[in-house]
Chains A and B, each alone.
Chain A
Amino acid sequence: MALPTLTALAPIPPMRFTLAIFLVIVVTRGLAADATARINTEISAAWDAQGISPASRCSDETFVRRVYLDLAGRIPTRQETQTFLADERDDKRQWLIESLLESEDHAQHFADLFDAILMGRADEGTYDRRAQHGWRGYLEAVFRDNRAWDRVAREILIARPSDSDNDGSVWFLYERKDDHQAIAEAVAPAFFGVRIECAQCHDHMSAHEIEQAHYWGLVAFFNRSKNADTPGGPRVAESAIGGFSDFANLEGSSTPNLLTFLDSSTVPEKRPTSDEKQDDEDPLYVDGGIPGEPREPIFSRRKKFVTQVLDGHPLLARAMVNRVWAIMMGRGIVHPHDELDSMHPPSHPELLDWLSDDFAASGFDVRRLVHSIALSDAYQLSAQRPAEATPPDSFAWYLERPLTAEQLARSIQFALRGSFENNALVVKELRQQILDVLPDTIEIPVSDALFFSNNEHLDEFIRQSSGDGQLISEVKRMQSQTERAIWLTETLYGRLPTQDETLAIVNYLDQKIDRIDAAISHVAWSMITSAEFRFNH
């Protein structure tokens, strides 16, 4: 089902197409509302069944900060918060969700998230290469254009970009440098939401559907691939021969590595006998390839994987739905979010089934999925746990979560400088320090506290935010210490200070009035490094 997206509508001048916009928005909203209604029904039915009273609906102040962080990857500016609070429309939350989903910040934020999820953290040299060879740009385009997720999976796994705009899609395989086990171990969670490391040496001990043959089968789908540096840039070539071997289990008996993965039927392929030599002849490759590009085998294992295993596999939709749910809700319907195996039953099985079917039927429309979750009642609950005994997988309150390194870096930059730079030192420092994205449990290590307390680049960034229009000079311009306290709290926390907080800030500033710049930077530091800023709630 092809749905007109909101992005496609954005550039249309409103006066000329009022009617069209009206209709389309109604249609879009109507469909999203279906999914939202379903989420609301399923989640509240489970509350009723378990006798859970959910938290109350969150305030607008809370909502605006939360939704900016989840959709745009940063806290709102003081002005953005006030604009939202002053908006009197009943459906202003929906309007905000929609406008954020169309924003460039959203593309950047989801590119940040999916870079960490699909590729893992890396040293700065690797981040540079990801940017230089188009991977970063590819991810940004995927989310800017709201590209269908099944298409993205195909582009990444076939890794034969048809035009230079998609060159970056090869990087998922290329960065793993011909390490075919690393590729298999990345493909399984990325597109099927399962982890298979266990199955390298033995069938999965408790999730019996994950067999050792699947581990080595998945490796085999990629083991004819080899990195190639072409005039057009990095490519992942593929041979038409080889890649046959046996794997041994713990008992020592060995099995051939057939092209098989999970419940898909084994892709037939003729195996040479042990004394048979295969020749890597031209007829094994597609005729008339593009000059300069690696030739493509007629029997391409990567392509077979995509057409015979990936396409139509229910886990492709299910894994993405569960992951997006985890991004928005703080934990997956299956938890951990990338272990959709028989060991980890979903908390809301029917909802997960329904959303997965709906996601596939919508043409793997990621933005529509995000939209429907953001609109749900559960997403808009207060972060106050209603009772000690209420389990987190009831989604009866908004589960607080630490900001990712990038959310933190973006938020600090916006709050202090009013703008954002992807390559700022503070971004690099933070992403080398705070590695977790969608953590299974929240544990803040002391090394983070040491970082916030003593890292020189963070310290410099805060102290030097004293230029025109930047936080320290804005605060300094205020007439009274009370106004300063209010400005700081509104900017950093998006709310007014309590009386106690005002008093604490005023006292601090009064004591150090002879060094007011330093004093303001200390207050900013103390607010940025406190839990209210560190978490989304």
Chain B
Amino acid sequence: MNQSPQRRSCGSDEHTVHRRLFLQGALASGVASVASFNGLFSIPTLADEAKRRGKKCILLWLCGAPSQFETWDPKPGTATGGPFGAIPTNLPGIQISSLMPKCATIMDKLAIIRSMSTKPNEHFQGIDALTRGDQPRPPFTRPILGSVVAQQLGQLDSPVPQFVLLDPCPEGNEFKAFKAGNWAGWLGAQYGPVRAGGDYGIPNIEQLDSITASDHADREALRKFFSKKYENDLHSSAAQSHNAAFDRVKGLMSCAPLFDLESLPMDERQRYGGGAFAQHVLQARHLIENGSTFVMVANGMPWDNHVYQHEMHQMLVPELDHVIFQLVSDLEDRGMLEDTLVIAMGEFGRTPWLNEARGRDHYPNAWSMAMAGAGIRGGVVHGATDDLGVDVVEGKVDNRNLFATIFRALGIDPHEAYDLPGLPTFHRVEEDAEPIAEVLV
């Protein structure tokens, strides 16, 4: 009568998390980091054979939802187009916003989808659907994209965390609430993210000055001697988990510099630009180069420009343009683009019309996103909206099609059923939603 590693009542893994969140009580903003950090490194009791397919993914999570008009689907000179023009790109006949001159030069490497049409039009629900791939089916919690990829492609024996959330901003309205929730869902906490970025370090990862490296190692050897004896005498699985945790300390400490922005070369930091988002995208590249499988970069929820949309986007889009250009170029220069999928998107788009505060409001009906790298055919623009960007007129796709595409690009079966005890049948992507073939290699 062995316990299953993730206990379920009412068929839901929510309870395990509830209990832990309850215990954490007022530890509020640390919740996601604590719960998931604890989780990822827990040594899985059922040591699944880690599959090493070598594919990686960086998600530039543009939380708050950027405007398609000021990025990938400009409508210059129309009633909805806004003040910024459109510029030609290195793809004949394809224009993007004039705020994105650098991406215009690498459009042959990008795949743009201009025909996203999704349902939720509030942030929390939108974030949920576009990071998990589907809307909720209570009480079951679908794992977030990074958790699925970490589980499918990650290397559990690696000292480097496989799923990292870099988010220097602890706030972010609905995103803050979302961050406190259950990310790994029914896959279990070991597939949740390690959270770092900004002031979020991994606690206790640095060796103290009060002890030399050799004393640190010697006393650990002595600890292991005592602890193994107990483990063996009692055939103790608890002690096994305890000792396995200690076995990972050295490796983790050795990757502490990966989480230290200051340790990155100054010329690279300058090249990416001084903004927190840019710096953390650089750090994401660095983590991927050093063995992480999925890195999600966010920066709170800056894109929700209900007020002064144009002025705000005039600041945000050029940084995004620059960062995508640097990242894609770097990955290509290093020969990593073929294996690394880069995704840039938010949870929906923005209204064609302006509100009274000269902002654009939430608009899931017709919006755009971009991808590049592993499994993705560059130089493709999929779908189209009408002249004013009100409706999708060609190639309409939704979150399910998008997730099927992402999984296919990473070599993960999009339609595989989750075979988990106590759960109804779920699929990685429901309803056999088709990937967007046009953007796949």
Q: Looking at chain B's contact residues, is the secondary structure mostly helix, strand, loop, or mixed?
A: helix
Q: Tell whether B430 is near chain A: CB-to-CB under 8 Å.
A: no
Cβ contact within 8 Å between B234 and A436: no
CB-CB under 8 A from B243, the residues of chain A are: 531
A511 to B2, CA, bound (A): 45
Residue in A195, A198, A392, A526 whose CB lies within 8 Å of B219: A526
Whether the pair A400, B241 counts as a contact (CB closer than 8 A) is: no
Q: How far is the CA of A435 from the CA of B42 in the complex (A)?
A: 15
Given the complex, which residues of B lie within 8 Å of A535, measured CB to CB? 236, 238-239, 242
B265 in the interface, Cβ–Cβ < 8 Å?
no
Stretch in contact with the other chain, from B23-31, B82-90, B328-336, B349-357: B23-31
Which residues of the other chain, A, contact B237 by a CB distance below 8 angstroms?
Answer: 442
Contact across chains for A454 and B206 when beta carbons are under 8 A apart: yes
CB pair A504 B219 closer than 8 Å = no
Name the B residues within 8 Å of A452 (CB-CB): 246
Distance, CA A125 to CA B27, complexed state (A):
10
Docked-complex contact B204 and A447, CB < 8 angstroms: yes
Closest-by-CB residue of A relative to B226 is A530
Residues in B whose Cβ lies below 8 Å from that of A525: 219, 223
Assembly CA distance A436 to B16 (angstroms): 11
- State whether A532 touches B230 (Cβ < 8 A): yes
A383 to B237, CA, bound (A): 12
Q: Chain A contacts of B236 at CB under 8 A?
A: 383, 400, 531, 535, 537
The answer on a CB contact under 8 Å between B249 and A450 is yes
Interface size of B by CB at 8 A reads 71
Task: Identify which of B113-121, B208-216, B385-393 touches chain A.
Answer: B208-216
> Which residues of the partner chain B approach A500 to less than 8 Å between Cβ atoms?
229
Cα distance A441–B222 in the bound complex, in angstroms: 27
In the complex with contacts A442-B241, A446-B248, A454-B204, A202-B138 CB distance below 8 A: yes
Query: Looking at chain A, what size class is its interface with the partner chain?
Result: 35 or more
**A122-B25, A205-B11, A400-B234 in contact; A453/B222 too (CB < 8 A)?**
no
Q: Tell me whether B246 and A453 are in contact (CB under 8 A).
A: yes
Chain B contacts of A455 at CB under 8 A?
204
How would residues 20 to 62 of chain B score, 1 for a CB under 8 Å from any chain A CB and 0 otherwise?
1011111100000010011101110100000000000000000
Q: Is the CB of B12 within 8 A of A435?
A: no
Contact partners of B310 in chain A: CB under 8 A: none
B1 touches A392 (CB 8 A): yes
The residue of chain A having its C-beta at the shortest distance from the C-beta of B235 within the complex is A385
Contacting residues, chain A, for B311 (C-beta < 8 A): none
Q: A454-B204, A532-B230, A537-B234 are in contact. Are A522 and B25 (CB under 8 A)?
A: no
Query: Looking at A125, A441, A534, which has the most chain B CB atoms within 10 Å of its CB?
Result: A441
Q: Which chain A residues border B415 with CB–CB below 8 Å?
A: none
Known: A440-B19, A531-B231. A198 touches B139 (CB 8 A): yes
Closest to A504 in B: B225
The verdict on B245 contacting chain A, using a C-beta distance below 8 Å, is yes
Task: Out of B10, B23, B41, B215, name the residue touching A120 (CB < 8 Å).
Answer: B23
Residues of B within 8 A of A435 (CB): 20, 23-24, 34
Considering the chains assembled together, what is the distance between the CA atoms of A534 and B231 in angstroms? 12
Q: Which of A19-27, A261-269, A336-344 contacts B (4 or more CB under 8 A)?
A: A336-344
Any chain B CB within 8 A of the CB of A384?
Answer: yes
Contact with B along A102-119 (1 / 0, CB 8 A): 000000000000001001
Q: Are A445 and B38 in contact (CB under 8 A)?
A: yes
Interface 1/0 per residue, A518-537 and B, CB below 8 Å: 10001101110111101101
For the A-B complex with A384-B233, A454-B205, A455-B204 known, give 7 more contacts whose Cβ atoms are closer than 8 Å: A120-B22, A449-B245, A459-B210, A500-B229, A501-B229, A523-B219, A531-B231
A-B contact pairs, 21 of them (CB 8 A): A119-B25, A121-B23, A198-B9, A198-B139, A205-B10, A336-B15, A435-B23, A435-B34, A445-B37, A446-B248, A447-B34, A450-B249, A451-B203, A454-B208, A459-B208, A500-B229, A526-B219, A530-B227, A531-B242, A535-B238, A537-B234
